[in-house]
Structure 1
Amino acid sequence: MAAGAALTPVVFAATDSDSGSQDKASGTTPEKFPVTRSDASTGAGAAAPAFAASYVGVRWAGERDGAALRLPDGDWQTLSGGCATVDDGGTALVAAGAATSYEVKAADGTTDVSSLAIDTTDGPRRAFQVPSEPTRVRGVRYLSRPAWGADESKRYKNGAVNSPEKYYALQTITVHHSDTPNGDADPAATVRAIYEYHAVTLDWGDIGYHFLIDEAGTVYEGRYSGDDNVPAFNPDGDLVTAFHTSGFNSGNLGIALLGTLTDQGPTDAAKASLVRLIKVISRFKGLDPQAKTTFTNPVNGVTKDVETVSGHRDWLQTDCPGQTMYDLLTEVRAAAAR
């Protein structure tokens, strides 16, 4: 298939048998997930949310390492090096371990500090209409947004969609790690926390990645792309713009592996799912996973020479996707190209 060829729902959302039929569920089944609770604070100092927090998201203006956080009975953690990046400042999502309080400290010159305590495990439970049959992308099974408990109201602000969907031709794929704890016992809850952090704390209006993959190899649908049962793309085959690589998002598909992959690599299951997902997307969009390309931002014309399958750090100043994962990208590219 030629590069840039249209990726239709019939082709992309096919069944395991590759019959070409759409993988639409025959119906839905109600499934309950905890409602995500959040409690915002402004400025440095102590905060005491009204619930035990799973995570704390922090954002500030100034230097990237211009803030620190301390949990009860813990040491100060300098906040830097995470996956998410923002212009003119820094941000971090920190696992809080059911903390009922925390402190934020700002360095000299740091301003506009805000934090958000997030609970994705113990709130009242709410029913979501989850597809009754497995959803698949050309044989790669994934959890749709309802299947991990995505509250679609988080995409709205003041009664309107905060970040309306825009679509552009796919050019590149970027690999991330979430910089959250390894050995995650409840990865769906972590995905909900990242969603809350990205959509609310960072005011992006949605989760920043197109797909996420947990340590068991489960693939999660990320950024909302429409109601056509095709994750990440519209019916014309164009990619919905997400928020994973600031300044280079349009036409750039982001996949995040849950965990911190600095000193350890992904699990075999997670790496296998990453390879399969890259292979599927590359084949049906005519990309060569082992090629180099000149990315051209379709919004402002800015260009950058990158690998077609790159790491977050190839675009911006960040440790993401972790040194160990970054060192594996050559292997991932080769496997996806086979």
Structure 2
Amino acid sequence: MRRRLVLPLVLLATAALAPGALAPGALAPAATAVEPGPRVERVALGEVPTARDATREVRTDRPFSMLGVRWSGAAPDEVAVRSRTDRGWRPWTPLEPATDRASEPLWTGDARTAQVRATRDGRDVTAELQLIALDPGPAPAARQAPAAGPGGRPPVVERAGWGADEKQTTWAGQATTTRAVAVHHTAGSNDYRCADSASVVRGLFHYHAVELGWGDIGYHALVDKCGTVFEGRRGGLDGDVIGGHALGFNHETFGVAMLGNLEQARPSPEMLDGVARISGWKLDRAGVPADGTVVLTGQGGSLHAAGARVTLPTIFGHRDVGRTLCPGRFGYAALGDIRARAAAAQHPPAQDPPAEEPPAEEDDAAQQAL
């Protein structure tokens, strides 16, 4: 059974995610691996000295802006990391599991030093972890493809627009149908600028495609706190392909991820609107009402057994089908708002036809001229 990686001592903020605002397998040996595009350093923490508080500190050779961890054996009960910037140490942040062998990544911004701690059954197991420090490299200036007219696809930053390295896309693709939308949060930091969103997506792409071995990013679409929508998995917008976002329920679902940790902060109205627009459009293409329900069959490995038939809203939260906090307490509480917005986008209110003007009265002079 997959355990939740939650650190009880972390205080959860309840501030809104204001757009653009800054918020306060076997392990490889310790080595630096330089890869085309993103730069990655992988450090076996068993080779790093332990401090008295059971933390292990790593200073990387080059700056990083995203962190993740892998482990051998059973998953730790708790994993948390923090990074140091020019302004000092950032708060400890718990990492949620992405798989049974690795955590979700955390966006840190520009940093060179990280600390990690992990426990299982109250015992320090940090030595079983490998730290992944990632610099996704500069992303191109994100440009949205325009909306495709009334009822068409909303504006989206396509893969080329955020700099997807298609040489790393090794997933061949598998067709499915779309009957529901699964909403996620990326469980990373809320401390990113909207100008950094394309780099965050680049980092997630590399982490999923290469570090987790999925061959592509798991989500079909991603939305930042300014409401910008990014294309995710190749072929997943205008087509219907299986994602890698909800174990046991990747078939027949479209995965949308909100960039940030919505266990700690409320989603902005712009973020909710972006999620609703892309979700409503995708479901509308499939003839599915955004405020309806659907029965999905579990494939196993999740909260529901293989073959279980589960009734869900057509826009549901990841935690409804998985052993996870995703999409966070504030993200989950916003699902009703997302459904209402998506349904409204599917069925915009009809506009009253313009009132007919009464016929102009002809004056006496005009009558006399006829």
Tell me which interval the TM-score lies in, with the shorter structure as reference length: 0.7 to 0.9
Residue in 2 that maps onto 1:5: none
1:180 CA displacement: 2.5
| TM-score, with length taken from structure 2 | 0.67
Output aligned runs, 1:86-235, within 5 Å: 86-87=99-100, 89-107=101-119, 108=123, 110=125, 113-121=129-137, 134=146, 136=148, 138-155=152-169, 161=170, 163-182=171-190, 184-185=192-193, 186-225=196-235, 231-234=236-239
CA contact (8 A) 2:83 2:115 kept: yes
Please give the alpha-carbon distance, in whole angstroms, between the structure 2 residues aligned to 1:114 and 1:164.
28
CA contact (8 A) 1:59 1:202 kept: no
| TM-score, with length taken from structure 1 | 0.73
Q: Which shifted more, 286-295 or 176-185? A: 176-185
CA contact (8 A) 2:280 2:342 kept: yes
Residue in 1 that maps onto 2:32: none
Q: Which runs of 5+ in 2 are unaligned?
A: 1-35, 49-56, 301-305, 345-370
Deviations 1:69-119 (A, max 9, x none): 343464884634x3x5313x5513223332223243443485852221111
Residue 50 of structure 1: SS of its match in structure 2?
strand
Residue in 2 that maps onto 1:50: 61
Residue in 2 that maps onto 1:296: 297
Task: Please identify the structure whose Cα radius of gyration is greater.
Answer: 2
Q: Which shifted more, 294-303 or 211-220? A: 294-303
Specify which of 89, 94, 100 is matched with residue 79 of structure 1: 94
1:298 CA displacement: 7.1
Residue in 2 that maps onto 1:265: 266
1:43 CA displacement: 4.0
Please give the alpha-carbon distance, in whole angstroms, between the structure 2 residues aligned to 1:99 and 1:131.
27
Please give the alpha-carbon distance, in whole angstroms, between the structure 1 residues aligned to 2:89 and 2:143.
42
Please give the alpha-carbon distance, in whole angstroms, between the structure 1 residues aligned to 2:297 and 2:156.
30
Please give the alpha-carbon distance, in whole angstroms, between the structure 1 residues aligned to 2:118 and 2:258.
30
1:200 CA displacement: 2.1
Deviations 1:236-275 (A, max 9, x none): xxx2111111121122111011122234322222211221
Please give the alpha-carbon distance, in whole angstroms, between the structure 1 residues aligned to 2:192 and 2:182.
23
Deviations 1:295-321 (A, max 9, x none): 125796453332211011111122211
Distance verdict in 2 for CA 1:250–1:96, change over 3 Å: same
Which of structures 1 and 2 has the larger relative contact order (alpha carbons within 8 angstroms, sep 6+)?
1
Distance verdict in 2 for CA 1:168–1:105, change over 3 Å: same
Q: Which shifted more, 44-53 or 206-215? A: 44-53
Residue 293 of structure 1: SS of its match in structure 2?
strand
Please give the alpha-carbon distance, in whole angstroms, between the structure 2 residues aligned to 1:112 and 1:288.
46
1:191 CA displacement: 0.8
- Letter in structure 2 aligned against 1:36: P
CA contact (8 A) 1:165 1:241 kept: yes
Distance verdict in 2 for CA 1:215–1:247, change over 3 Å: same
Please give the alpha-carbon distance, in whole angstroms, between the structure 2 residues aligned to 1:145 and 1:275.
20
Residue 129 of structure 2: SS of its match in structure 1?
strand
Distance verdict in 2 for CA 1:65–1:135, change over 3 Å: farther
CA contact (8 A) 2:117 2:124 kept: no
- Letter in structure 2 aligned against 1:79: P
Residue in 2 that maps onto 1:65: 77
Two-structure CA RMSD over aligned residues (Å): 3.0
- Letter in structure 2 aligned against 1:309: I
Residue in 2 that maps onto 1:314: 320
